[in-house]
Amino acid sequence: MSFAGKEFKLSNGNNIPAIGFGTGTKYFKRGHDELDKQLIGTLELALKSGFKHIDGAEVYGTNKEVGIAIKNSGINRKDVFVTDKYNSGNHTYDGKHSKHENPYKALKADLEDLGLDYVDLYLIHFPYISEKSHGFDLVEAWRYLEKAKNEGLARNIGVSNFTIENLKSILDANTDSIPMVNQIEFSAYLQDQTPGIVEYSQSQGILVEAYGPLGPITKGKPGPLDKVLSKLSNKYNKNEGQILLRWVLQKGVLPITTTSKEERINDVLEIFDFELEKEDEDEITKVGKEKTVRQFSKEYSKYD
């Protein structure tokens, strides 16, 4: 997996913009379906400012906003990388959470909401799929993604929140393709969502994407990195968020972040004009391991 300029190259040879704008977290809809006009405006601004990668999901409920923003921005569809995720449910295995029968049908419905003919990346959001809860197992779920890819509904396919064991279940199943991406919670205060997952994913040619990459400053203060980030912020004339996002990139990981503030959109896009010296990158890695901050993937807290 290689990182150059503002893109990563996936193992199938396709490129993916090296930072994504997330439409979950702050914008996640809980029990309502009204259009979020603020999100539409923010996405339009992000796209016009230079963001080329929008990260969405069925469970976020924001696909209509993504589609409207792309259309309103006037930017050519082929110049925007759109990610969607199948709502596979949570760790309780309490049944299907998607409104749709399987990942293939879920994507077709999401494409209608998006107003698009295809997505650039389609992920299984969580690995909690079984024959008992869903009527198909994890490998069969993956085959539905392959079907979507073969029909041109998804240019690339991957997974999210997968452990090594989950990945091996697909890699050992003689499927037609391997996941291009494993999107996990990752930050300097959570360098492995589950044991060994970053190194294993990368060893298999699977790009790791990071949600929650700013954990040390959004949820981790006070903490052991505070003085380090302050020092490096002064050294590089960058804010602490830019330092952390640059560190993620230099670990070979693609950060997914979000904001509603215009100035921070520009800040995020300014992480490509500098590079952390190796000793500074290593210091963040070392000191970051002194504290664990898990913002989202609470079901894996047993590993903390």
Strand partners, 22: 55
Closest by CA position to 206, among listed 242, 160, 247, 169: 160
100 belongs to the catalytic site: no
d(CA 198, CA 18): 17
d(CA 16, CA 10): 7
Contact 123, 83 (CB under 8 A): yes
84 burial class (0-12, 13-18, 19+ CB within 10 angstroms)?
Answer: buried
Contact 126, 95 (CB under 8 A): no
Report helix, strand or coil for 202.
helix
Copy the structure tokens of residue 146: 């392959």
125 belongs to the catalytic site: yes
Copy the structure tokens of residue 98: 């998607």
Closest by CA position to 181, among listed 152, 215, 155: 155
Residue type, 86: Y
| From 125, 134, 144, 200, active-site residue | 125
d(CA 144, CA 123): 11
| From 60, 118, 122, 144, active-site residue | 60
Contact 82, 66 (CB under 8 A): yes
CA-angle at 26, arms to 46 and 68, nearest 5°: 45
User: Which residue numbers are catalytic?
Assistant: 60, 125
